[in-house]
């Protein structure tokens, strides 16, 4: 289940809000995500995932790939 922030600038306009979401919506409008009843994203922030640690590990892996070339 996803909850969308319909107040995002790209979705303004009551008459066209649904249409705007369907045609121009993307992950930036997602505010909250529930998976099997557990909140995974709240207020556009991960609840149970250390995003900084994941990004740091990705950078290490990328550096390793470049060093091997």
Residue range 19-69, pLDDT digits in tens: 888 887 888 889 999 999 999 999 999 998 898 999 999 999 999 999 987
pLDDT at residue 22, as a whole number: 83
> In this predicted structure, what is the pLDDT of residue 18?
80
* Residues 4 and 21: beta-carbon distance below 8 Å: yes
In order of 15, 63, 67, the CA distances from 32 in angstroms are: 24, 33, 38
> Per-residue pLDDT for 12 more than 80?
no
Predicted TM-score (pTM) above 0.75: no
The DSSP code for 58 is H
Residues 6+ apart with CB under 8 A from 23: none
For residue 31, the model assigns a pLDDT of: 94
């Amino acid at each position: 289940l996803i909850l969308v922030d319909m107040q995002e600038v790209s979705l303004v306009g009551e008459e066209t809000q649904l249409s705007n979401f369907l045609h121009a919506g993307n992950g930036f409008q997602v505010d909250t995500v529930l998976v099997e009843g557990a909140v995974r994203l709240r207020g556009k922030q991960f609840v149970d995932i250390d995003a900084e640690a994941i990004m740091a590990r990705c950078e290490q892996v990328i550096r390793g790939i470049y060093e091997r070339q």
